[in-house]
Amino acid sequence: MTRPHDMGGRFGDGPVLQDPNEQVFSQEWHARALAVTLAAGSLGQWNIDVSRHARELLSPKDYARFSYYEKWVSALADLLVEKGIVTRDELAGAEPTPSPLADRALQADRVATVLAAGGPADRPSDVAAVFRNGDAVKTRRMPSNRLIDGGHTRLPKYAAGARGRVVRCHGAHVLPDSSAHGFGEAPEPLYAVAFPASALWAHPEHPRDEVVLDLWQSYLEPVE
């Protein structure tokens, strides 16, 4: 029911290995991949939810074997074709034609401004908040997009159908499940919800440990 990116709780990945001498970009192409992805994003032809979903649409086989920036650049290529910005022939090496979007291309002298501006996700919303700090809630049982089969969602499967309590109210934020598919931003209240480790795992490490997730109101139902 979910895609290969939804790996929270999975067994078998081995130790977390860190390189104490790691550079910001360990390969030059990592830096270029990050930069070209950000520059292409600034053309304004998609939002962050669309670009995340494009990475999630990589096949499980590619998702597992690609490194982080390979996922970025491969998903970018897929998105550019899906949006009609480049053609498959151009990707395959055909002579490129100039793009009508060229006047939107990010200029070097605008980079600092664009990165500093960011892209806030909070919005005014008509959806009233129904939960408050301390309220007991339960996540919906299926970690699936309710608008479109196989669509984007930010409810991980490890936290589906679990009981927790609201610990923070973030205000209304863009709903990724809608925004990733061109159905509009559909902002609704977003909460930080704390779950006891024992509500998520068969063998929690410690009786007082918790996991907190940011969850949209439509992911939650009240608990009596």
Should residue 60 be labelled a site residue for another protein when binding is judged by CB under 8 A?
Answer: no
**Beta carbons within 10 angstroms of residue 75's beta carbon:** 22
User: Is residue 1 at the binding interface for another protein, with CB under 8 A as the rule?
Assistant: no
Nearer to another protein, 15 or 224 (CB): 15
Residue 127 near residue 171 (C-beta atoms within 8 A): no
Say how far apart CA 137 and CA 212 lie, in whole Å.
13
Stretch in the footprint of another protein (CB under 8 A) among 59-67, 124-132, 134-142: 59-67
126 binds another protein (CB under 8 A): no
Asked whether position 69 contacts another protein by CB under 8 A, the answer is yes
Q: In the structure encoding, which two tokens stand for residue 37, read together? A: 């992805």
Report d(CA 44, CA 97) in Å as an integer: 20
The least CB distance from residue 7 to another protein, in Å, is 5
Q: Does the footprint of another protein cover residue 74 (CB under 8 A)?
A: yes
Query: 57 or 127, CB closer to another protein?
Result: 57
Q: Which of 44, 134, 208, 224 binds another protein (CB under 8 A)?
A: 208
> Does 131 engage in binding with another protein (CB under 8 A)?
no
Residue 16: how many CA atoms within 13 Å on its side-chain side? 1
> At residue 136, what are phi and psi to the nearest 5 degrees?
-80, 135
Alpha carbon distance 22, 28 (integer Å): 13
Q: Does 206 bind another protein (CB under 8 A)?
A: yes
When asked if residue 27 is in the footprint of another protein (CB under 8 A), the reply is yes
20 versus 224: smaller Cβ distance to another protein: 20
Residue 129 binds to another protein (criterion: CB under 8 A): no
Give the helix/strand (H/E) hosting 206: none
Q: Which is nearer to another protein, 44 or 224 (CB)?
A: 44
Cα gap 182→198, rounded to integer Å: 37
**Residue 183 or 224 with smaller CB distance to another protein:** 183
By CB under 8 A, tell whether 130 contacts another protein.
Answer: no
Q: Is residue 178 packed enough to be buried (19+ CB in 10 Å), middle (13-18) or exposed (0-12)?
A: buried
Is 168 near another protein (CB under 8 A)?
yes
Q: Tokens 């009596």 belong to which residue?
A: 224
The residue within the footprint of another protein, chosen from 137, 160, 166, 213 (CB under 8 A), is 213
Q: Which of 143, 169, 161, 144 is nearest to 199 (CA)?
A: 161
